[in-house]
Each structure stands twice: as C-alpha cells, then as structure tokens.
Amino acid sequence: MNPKIPINLPPYWNIKLVKTYLNSGDFKRARQLFDKISEPDLQLCTVLITAYTKQGHPEEAIKLYAKLRDSGKVNPDKLALLSVAKACATSGEIIKAKEIHEDAIKYGFDSDLLLGNAMVDMYGKCKYIEGAKRVFDNLRVKDVISWTSLCSCYVNCGLLRDALWAIRAMGLSGIRPNSMTLSSILPACSGLKCLDLGREVHGFGIKNGMEDNMFVNSALVDMYANCSSIKQAELVFYNMPQRDVVSWNVMISAYFSNGKCEEALNIFDQMRSRGVKLNYDSWNAVICGFMENGQTQQALELFSKMQQLGFKPNQITITSVLPACTHLESLRLGKEINAYIIRHWFSEDLTATTALIFVYAKCGDLELSHRVFSMMPKKDTVAWNTIIIANSMHGRGEEALLHFNEMVSSGVKPNSVTLTGVLSGCSHSGLVDESLSIFHSMSKDHKIEPDVEHYSCMVDVLSRGGRLIEAYQFIQRMPMEPSAAAWGALLGACRIYKNVDLGRIAANHLFEVEPDNPGNYVLFSNILVTAKLWGEASETRKLMRDRGIKKVPGCSWIQVKNRVHTFVVGDKKNDQSDKIYKFLNEMRKKMKLAGYLPDTEFVLQDLNAEDQEDSLCNHSEKLAVAFGILNLKEESSIRVFKNLRICGDCHNTIKFIAKIVGVQIIVRDSLSVTKKFLSAEISQQKVATTMVAIIWNISQQLCNTRNGINLGSVEQAPIGKVAMQQHCRYRQIHPFSLGQGRMNLSMMAQKLAPKVIQFTRCCMLFDSKEERHTLSAMKVYCDGIIVNPSFSSNLKVPSWDTWNIPSISSIVFG
C-alpha cells in the first residue's frame, strides 16, 4: 500500500522529497507531490523540469515550464530557461523553441552567454538556422562553445560550407578550437568529401593532444569512410585507446558505406563477443547496412535475431526493413510488419506508415495502400506524394489526379515530387489534356518552376498518347538540356506507333547521352526489326558489340512458399519445366478459341509463323505465371515481377490466361508500372437481362415501330454498323409491337445466355467496360438469332471491324 503523500511541508523539504523520488526513478510519485503543492516555488519547478529533460521526457518538461510561466505567479529564471531550452533541443519543437527565445528576451536573459549558447544549440537541433544566427549575433561575448554550437547548427541544416566559414571566422577572432569543435567540423568535411581538409583537422588534433579523444576519433572514422579512405578509418579505429558503443557503430557504418559487408558483420560479432552492450543504433546500423547493399535476406535474419534477443524494433528499424518487402516483393512480410506497427507505439508514425503505403503499392496491392493512407491521423506532403505515386505506379492516373486535388484542398502544399507523380500517373492513363493543364499551371498556381523531370514526364504523356510530333517539338522547346528520360520516352513510343524516323532521331541522341545503356540499343534495334530493316538492325547490334555493351538478360520471378523462383527466356532448369510448357501449350489452344492472335512483332528473329509463336511462348514472364498457377492454386492472386519491360504479346497472353483460369494476376516490370489482370465472373441472369435491355434500346432506334431506321442515333454507336446490316432481315422476321417484342427478346435471351457467357468472357479480355461486353454479346445475338432463328451452321457471318475476334458466331455456337 502506497504511503500517503504529505502536502504541507516547507519548500526545502518539498524539494528534498521530490529529488528523492526522482533519484529513485519514481516520476509518478514526484509529479503527484508537485501537483498537490498549492504554490510550488521556482526552484522546485526547475528541479522537476531538469529531471524530465535528463530522463528523456522533454515533452513533460516543456508542458511543466508552460504551466509555470502561464500561472503568472512565478517568473522563469535563467536556470529554468536553460533546462527547458535543452528539452526543446531534444524534442525539436520549433514553435516551443521560439517561445523560449521570446521569454529569454522578455525576462532579460537574451545576452547571457550560457543561455545564449544553449539556445543556439536548441535552434540547431530544431534545424532553424535563422533563429540560431539571431541569438549568436546578439551575444556580446562569444566563447568556443558559441562558435562550436553555430558550426553544429550549420551542419544539422546541411549548410556545410557555412560551417567551414564559421570555423575560419572563429580562428580569426582568436578563439582556439577544442575537441568538441573538431567533432562538429569533421562531419562537414565528410559531407563535402574534403579529404585534405579532414586530414588537416586530424593533424591539428594530434598537435594539440586530442588524438586520444573518443568523440574526435569517432568523427574521424566517419570522415575517412565517407571519403572512401577505409584504410585510414581502420587505422584510427584500431589505434583508439578506448572505444564506446558509438565508436563501434561508426565503424560498422564505415564498412557498409564502402561495400564491405563481411567486415562490418565481423565488427558486429566482435562487439558481442567482447561484451560491448549493443544498443538500438548497433542493430539499426547493421540492418540498414545490409539493406543499402542489397543483401535483403541478411537484413531480415538480423531483424528476426534482434527481436529474439529482446530488442523491440523502433521507428528507424521498421523504416529500414520495410524496403525488404519491395526488394523481395513479399506482400506477406509487409502485412506482418504492418501488424507490428499497429500493435506497438508508433502506429501513428508518419515515416513508418508512409513507407508501408509504398511497400504495398510495389507489392501490387494498391487497395491496402489506400487503406493505410485513409487511416493516417494526419498526412504531410510526403504521405500525399506517396499515395499519388502509388496510384501512378498502377496506371491509375484519375485517382492520382483526385488525390492531388484533395491534397491541395486540404491545405498541404505540393512540391516538385508531387507534380512529377501526378504527371507520371497521367502518362499511364492517357490524360494528355489534364497533364498539359497541370504543367502550365505549375508556376502560377503552385509557385513551382518545371524542372527536367517535369518536362520529361510531359514528353512521356504526349508520346504515350500517340502525339509523337508534339512530343518531339516539346523536347526541342525545353529550356534545359533534354534528359535521357525524355528521349527514352519518345523512343519507346516510336516502338509502339512504328515511327522509324523519329525513333532514329531519339536513338541517336540517346547513344550520345547514355552511350553505355544497353536498353537504348535493344529498343531501337527492335523498332528496326519490326519495320523489317534487318540490315540497319544488324548495324545497331554491331555498334553495341563494338562499344563493349552487353544486353541485360531478362528474367522474371515469383515467390512461392517463402522461396523466390526465377525464370529466364526458354528456361528449362526448373523441376516443373515439363508441366509449365504443357500448361502454356494448353492455354495457347484455349486462347486461340477465345480470339487470341499472337503478336509476332515481338519476335526479333526472321522465323516462320509457327516458330515465331513457339518463341513467344518461351518468354520469362509467361513461365513465371504458369509456375504460379500450378503452385498457388489456393491463392486468389498471383504476383510476378520482371527486371525489364513486359512485351505486348505477354501483356495480352496474361490477360487471356487470367480470364480462362479465373485468377487475378499482377505483374510489375522495369517501368515500375503494376499491371493487374482480373478474372471474369459472369452471371448468366445478368448477361440475359443486360442483353434484353441493350437489344431493346437498339430495336427502338432501328424500328421506330413503323417509320424505318433512325440513322442519326445509330451511326455513332459501336454496334451501329452491324445493327444496320441486319435491319431489313430483322424487320421481316420480327414485325412486332413494342410489348410483345420485348417478351420474345427476353425468352430468346434466356435461351441464349449460357452460350453468350462463354463469348462474353472472351470479350472481357479486350475491354473491362460492361457495356461493350454486352454489345459484343448483342452482335452474336444479331448474327445467330435475328438473321435466322433456326441458325444454320453454314451461315456466313457479316464481318465486324470494331472487334478483332475471328469467327465470332462459330466460337459461341460451334
């Protein structure tokens, strides 16, 4: 049972008792005592504020200070301001920092050296250089701590050259640097890659007896590592007379930054074997290091080991390991980390949740990205940018545009990345006019001047929209040197739209801008092959060989039961290769019956028709899809990833397979665009009902009961051509009244529905809009029933150019 807390003690005993509770770590009891004191004095308040700051509770320290100040009973003194300034430096709250600065001026302490130095440091930790300079300039006397704090502030704000200026000005003022000054200036040398200056600082430290200072040596290790001088970093580290956990962590990061993962892991193991107490920075350094070097599996193993040893991942750990999900394309792992985020204290952390949005999008589940985004309590610019880019990756330009408008309406200011994401989304959705409007409004509405990325996006928008001449003219009007991305977008569109002349112009520029990129040579060669310009295509390949450029081999991969399976073109190394090729051959037969035509433009050899089809069947993404279907029968969706651009024939093939097998297939290629191929679930009753409605509407347009064809409303309809072809026969067979005619149509539609379902599945492969599917079903109805109710098998079906499906009636009724 807790002892009763006394409340009417003299001030001295109140302070004594509060300190006793604080020293024992009982902050709750200390605060209870403080709150029961009717008029706590300034000294008692300062004791508690200082304790909160030292024990890592800066928010409580700031709240207590505000309560003291706002009470109006006690004016803060220098010690109270000093304590709360340190709390603000820890929390990084810029608004509170400005309030403390105003209080220092109000109570006459703004020129005090000790408090002034603390406020320079406070503003530096808040990354507010203007405030730090204002305090610094107002100091009548400046010591080495003043200059060192200003230097650290410049470094924290990324103003590295200004930090060097501050040190030079310090020397000119006659103040000699100390060890903390050297520790502050070395990160500037590191960031600027100034190895020579770093060596000068090192030499100054040795001459002035600082060679054994642990903080200076740790900064030297970091500087040498960032300047790619790992041998000197090792020399400094191993000659340190003593090392703390920070020194070890710095050396781990040094090895990773120079690509020496094995050495970094050895240092990590040495820490554990020598009894050095690991902290969160130790685990984060090694996990981040493996991630940055592309060794995802090792990072995940250490992530698991960390938890086994009792370390709960913090925000930095989570944001570091989340990219592993995108590298491995593991949606399952992403969901596990999401569950961890929700269960633990940083479920509202912007950095972690924003990273999660991107992970889900890259793993092919945009719906989960939207769900995480909608649950965020507040959304900053980065969060909005991420959801916009996520939609763009999935080719959902309309939704990206919608999010952009919501972002602006919510008062969040877009930046350059925002506009790049929106324009990219527009390019994948054919929103040419919308993107032009956004591009031209950037400067006026958002005060953002278009840069080379925005211009490149616009070239991509125009190119994908088939406006190649405009795209080329847009490049010519760019106020800066056109980027490789701009020329690459034009070259890619030239492949789609078979424009050899513009493709040649774009390729020649790319060969100059990116002479070592094999993709440019291959893409231009493919354009030439499609145009049957075999000689020029051969010359392009020869130029590639002469320059020593090798084509990046295409591969696709899929994760099955926590194992990643990789496939290349014509791959037969997989244990299930026979089953895979058998499955694809069976699919090819079914697809042809459904109207599939092989797109042999993507065969780059001069082969006969049969060999060309066989060649298309060997593409790596088709093999991966087949493997997934054979091994993920219980899964509702299959996710495949490819390192290069997916070809047009594979795009169509996977679309057919998804419909025939009845599974959702998600493919992401090198363009970072996720393509989702949906399965077809069709209701027999729905088909029959929709057929009746559409046939009835067209009947009314054609028949007008007795007055003949209403040409004006039919000519523009997709079905118009066919409908008018059947008009005369139609009226001879069915000279019906409105009511009776609808009943007859309904009966016929019900009888025909099972057959039409099969055909409608085929139609859905070409367009996801239900109206066009049912119009296609209506075409079969007209061909098979209206022309001749008994339907003879040798009936010659009128051609219909709107759909590229051969022998429609024979597919359904044969």
Helix (H), strand (E), coil (C) string for 130-194: HHHHHHHHHCCCCCHHHHHHHHHHHHHCCCHHHHHHHHHHHHHCCCCCCHHHHHHHHHHHHHCCC
Token pair of 768 as six digits: 């996801």
274-277 LR contacts (CB < 8 Å, sep 24+): 276/243, 276/245, 276/248, 277/245
DSSP code string of 786-811: IS-TT--TTPPPPP-TTS--SSHHHH
- Dist CA 241 CA 254 (whole Å): 19
Question: Residue 348 — pLDDT band, cuts 50, 70, 90?
Answer: low
Question: Residue 121 — pLDDT band, cuts 50, 70, 90?
Answer: very high
Top CATH class of 243-311 equals mainly alpha
Q: How high is the mean pLDDT of the chain?
A: 76
- Dist CA 100 CA 25 (whole Å): 27
- Dist CA 458 CA 441 (whole Å): 13
> How many H-runs (helices) and E-runs (strands) does the chain carry?
43, 5
Q: According to the model, what pLDDT value does residue 486 have? A: 94
Q: According to the model, what pLDDT value does residue 118 have? A: 92
Question: Quick one: fold of 451-550?
Answer: 1.25.40
- Dist CA 678 CA 263 (whole Å): 48
Helix (H, G, I), strand (E, B) or coil at 641: strand
Q: According to the model, what pLDDT value does residue 418 have? A: 95
- Dist CA 648 CA 31 (whole Å): 69
Question: Residue 349 — pLDDT band, cuts 50, 70, 90?
Answer: low
- CB neighbours of 205 closer than 8 A, spacing ≥ 6? 179, 182, 211, 213, 216, 220
Mean pLDDT of 421-431: 89
Cα dihedral 611, 617, 620, 623 sign: negative
Mean pLDDT of 595-621: 60
Q: According to the model, what pLDDT value does residue 33 have? A: 63
- With pLDDT > 90 as the criterion, what percentage of the chain qualifies? 26
pLDDT above 60: residue 309: yes
pLDDT above 90: residue 405: yes
Q: How far is CA 61 from CA 14, 24, 83, 84, 775, in A?
A: 18, 18, 8, 6, 71
User: Tens of pLDDT along 768-806?
Assistant: 344 444 444 444 444 443 333 333 233 233 333 333 333
- Dist CA 711 CA 714 (whole Å): 5
Question: What are residue 329's phi and psi, to 5 degrees?
Answer: 50, 45
- CB neighbours of 203 closer than 8 A, spacing ≥ 6? none
Mean pLDDT of 734-750: 39
User: Tens of pLDDT along 352-372?
Assistant: 788 888 888 877 778 888 988
Q: According to the model, what pLDDT value does residue 652 have? A: 81
Q: Which part of the chain has CATH 1.25.40.10?
A: 451-550
Q: According to the model, what pLDDT value does residue 712 have? A: 36
Mean pLDDT of 204-212: 88
Minimal CA–CA distance to 147: which of 185, 100, 109? 185
CB 620 within 8 A of CB 565: no
3-state helix, strand, coil in the chain (%, to 5): 65, 5, 30
Q: According to the model, what pLDDT value does residue 203 have? A: 92
pLDDT above 80: residue 267: yes
Question: What are residue 66's phi and psi, to 5 degrees?
Answer: -65, -40
Which range of 49-58, 292-301, 511-520, 726-735 scores highest in mean pLDDT? It is: 511-520
Q: When comparing pLDDT for 258 and 645, which is higher?
A: 258
Q: According to the model, what pLDDT value does residue 572 have? A: 87
CB 81 within 8 A of CB 99: no
pLDDT above 50: residue 726: no
Residue 19, H or E segment = helix 11-23
- Dist CA 92 CA 510 (whole Å): 47
Amino acid sitting at position 447:
K
Radius of gyration of the chain (CA): 35
Helix (H, G, I), strand (E, B) or coil at 345: coil
Q: When comparing pLDDT for 731 and 351, which is higher?
A: 351
Residue 558, H or E segment = strand 555-560
Using a 10 angstrom Cβ sphere, with 0-12 exposed, 13-18 middle and 19 or more buried, the burial of residue 2 is: exposed
Q: According to the model, what pLDDT value does residue 109 have? A: 86
pLDDT above 70: residue 345: no
Helix (H, G, I), strand (E, B) or coil at 687: helix
pLDDT above 70: residue 639: yes
pLDDT above 80: residue 614: no
The residue length of the chain stands at 814
CB 424 within 8 A of CB 453: no
pLDDT above 80: residue 291: yes
Amino acid sitting at position 420:
T
Q: According to the model, what pLDDT value does residue 331 have? A: 58
- Dist CA 450 CA 603 (whole Å): 39
Minimal CA–CA distance to 759: which of 729, 731, 779? 779
Q: When comparing pLDDT for 524 and 751, which is higher?
A: 524
User: Tens of pLDDT along 565-606?
Assistant: 889 888 888 889 999 999 998 988 888 777 777 765 545 454
Q: When comparing pLDDT for 810 and 243, which is higher?
A: 243
Token pair of 140 as six digits: 């009548």
Residue 538, number of CB atoms within 10 A of its CB: 13
Amino acid sitting at position 715:
E
